[in-house]
A and B are shown apart, each in its own frame.
Chain A
Amino acid sequence: MTMQEDINPSAVDTEADASAATSAIAPERSAFQRFLTVTVGPIVAAFLLSAIILMLVGVNPLTYYGYILDRSLFSGLGLEQTATRMAPLLFLVASLIIAFRAGIWNLGTDGQFLLGAVIAAATAPLLVGVLPGWAVLVVGFLLAALVGAIWSIIPALLKAYQGVNEIITTLMMSFLGVLLASTLVKLAFRDPTTTVPQTRTLPVADRLPRLFDTSISSGLIWGLIAVILVHLMMTRTAFGLRLRMVGANPAAATHAGLSVPLLTMATFGLSAGFAGLAGASEILGVAGNVRANWDPAYGLMVIPLVFLARFHGVGAIVLVFFYSALMIGSESAARRLGVPQDFTLVLVASLLICLGLGEYIDQHKRKKER
């Protein structure tokens, strides 16, 4: 059932609920043991696997991991950077929770993210002084969500009314979106006062306010709210239940009288809209402008976290925290230890694979129990 048989991502979710029920009946294997197999185990295994690769290229994994921890969690500035980095990742998590729970593979979040970022960067600096500060930010966020959603219309229509596999269409639109964003920066929204191809810069004073006396962007708070709201929407509202029904079994949802095409469109719109918000949160909170060819490619990297958290909002928030620490640490390690940041890709990949294996082991143990 879980990750095994079904191409449908939402199957994992129903499985998690079902397993909670079975574990209540059969207490032989405690929830804690299950937690070890499907969460802690894969994480530890992924770090070990990546450590082997580090050793292969001649880097001491203990030094490397130690440096990352030291740099991202045990230093004040590092911790603040980690918290700030969480904001865009959290919006992306919200985007993916909606899509995956509704059975849609939105693999195009990178394109939606960047176009959202570019539109926010293009409009916000021009509105400063025209609108009050808070309104500038609201307009920036709304436009980013709108543009992100628009960028998903073609895959959404193709999926809803023609049944074209959205994995391919969203990936293609993502490649297109990344290139379009860079073109827009160079041709349409270029700051005429600089020689570097980039958009106008939003002054620091007009960006999202900092939290208290720290350098942490308040985008963090909005990101947390987004994930919690999305989680409650998907698990506690009738609308969320409808989306999950479509994800679990489109045929059954049709028979229950739901408009599957419309709900599919809604899923794409919401998911891509949150991806757009993620882009805006990075620009209006931290960067202030978009440079040409900028593409942090957060989208695909967040996928394993959402899976690891079993599409659960709170679980995902905890994982985003550690992941963002890893990013901040590895960025610093790239400068100091000379290990390219591409190493995080290896770590994320190991995590995805070990996660699948943990799931498989768990499945087998449960079969034996029956």
Chain B
Amino acid sequence: MGGLLTEAFLSSLFTGAIVAAVPMLLAGLGEQMSEKAGVLNIGIEGMMLMGAYMGFLVAFKTESLWLGFLGGILGGVLVAIVMAVLCVRLGLNQIVIGIGLTLGVEGLTALLHHFQFSRTYPRLPAPERLNIPGLTDLPVIGPSLFGRHLIVYLALIAVAVLAYLYRRTNLGMTLRAAGERPAALDVAGGNVLGIRVFATLFTGGMAGLGGAYLANIGAGLFIPFMTGGAGFIGIVLAMLARGRPLWVLIGSLIFGAALSMTTALQVAGSNIPTDVIQMLPFAAVMLVLVLFGRRAKLPSALGAAYERGAR
């Protein structure tokens, strides 16, 4: 373990942190919107996995990463449509349906992958990187911070855009009203179900994009069950961020760093079993919940379907 602080180790730690953080950031941002609007989206893990599967499939067939990302968004939205119809329009239990969708997508993608690729896991070519002359050439942090795929920077822009949207726009207020006092929004002439459907589909799109990033850029291939709880971590990020996109970004970077310890420690030649290292992000989540759980603020109508005139 003597060479722990070598350039290769630090570089792979930074790079890994960012690559691991982006899917959780996208999922967390998506989940944040539907939680604001009063929908606890447990199905996000399934949306992410569907995004990973469709994102990979499209990128693999068309050999275009951008089409792949579109496919990922589409995959996530498809699952979200089912969620929106069942949980928002029909008002079924969000947790039961959420678990159902996650299990269903896990099975479906594994099944489809099996019949398409059997036991092979074809790889995508390495993605093209944004190259900013000067910055990218900096030692250690250069390649990790400034040499990422364009989508990483788009995700950062999304943080700013969402923060503006929640604070300064009518849409932001409407979203909050749908989560805090849906009846009041209804009386004021707002469309509670409409805004909740919109938020659920947005979550699906973001989670799908996150899944596509995970498969196409993070791993370069699709493996069944590959999201492995990243969507659930997105839920925790959204819960702890108390409605602020910037906090989702900070949280995802912390969890990303915890996740990237796996690869970084392997680069450093450590012989800690991977199981222990894989526990790090979940342990970090629990630690954060123990320390700050009381402060997690959730909208008062979260998880409750809205029906006009009920009670």
Contact = CB atoms under 8 A, between A and B. Distances in A.
B107 A154 contact: no
B91 A343 contact: no
B107 A346 contact: yes
Given A169-B286, A169-B289, A342-B106, A7 B40 contact: yes
B108 A53 contact: yes
Contacts of A355: 96
Interface stretch (B62-70, B128-136, B193-201, B271-279): B271-279
A58 B289 CA distance: 46
B97 A356 contact: yes
Interface stretch (A136-144, A160-168, A212-220): A160-168
B112 A7 contact: no
Contacts of B42: 167
Interface centre among B42, B86, B90, B236 (most CB of A within 10 A): B90
A171 B110 CA distance: 22
A180 B279 contact: yes
A113 B304 CA distance: 30
A357 to B, nearest CB: 7
B93 A4 contact: yes
Contact of B96 (A3, A154, A169, A173): A3
B61 interface: no
B33 to A, nearest CB: 18
A56 to B, nearest CB: 8
Interface string A329-366: 00000000001101111111111110111011000000
A356 B82 CA distance: 12
A179 B99 contact: no
A60 B236 CA distance: 42
Interface centre among B94, B96, B232, B276 (most CB of A within 10 A): B96
A183 interface: yes
A175 B100 contact: no
Interface stretch (A23-31, A67-75, A301-309): A301-309
B219 interface: no
B294 A360 contact: no
Contacts of B232: 168, 171-172, 175
B286 A107 contact: no
Interface in B104-163: 104-108, 110-112, 114-115
In which size bucket is the chain B interface?
35 or more
A357 B110 contact: no
Nearest to A349: B104
Contact of B305 (A5, A158, A340): A5
B274 to A, nearest CB: 9
Interface string B256-294: 000000000000000001011011001101100110011
A359 B90 CA distance: 11
Contact of B273 (A3, A168, A186): A186
A346 to B, nearest CB: 4
A337 B104 CA distance: 21
Interface in B200-244: 224, 229, 232, 235-236, 239
B113 to A, nearest CB: 9
B95 interface: yes
A127 interface: no
Interface string B6-45: 0000000000000000000000000000000000101000
A342 B285 contact: no
Given A4-B307, A179-B275, A57 B94 contact: no
29 contacts: A5-B307, A7-B94, A7-B303, A9-B93, A9-B95, A158-B293, A162-B294, A164-B289, A164-B294, A165-B296, A169-B289, A171-B232, A176-B282, A179-B276, A179-B279, A186-B275, A187-B273, A303-B99, A304-B96, A340-B114, A342-B106, A342-B107, A345-B106, A348-B107, A353-B82, A353-B104, A355-B96, A356-B92, A360-B91
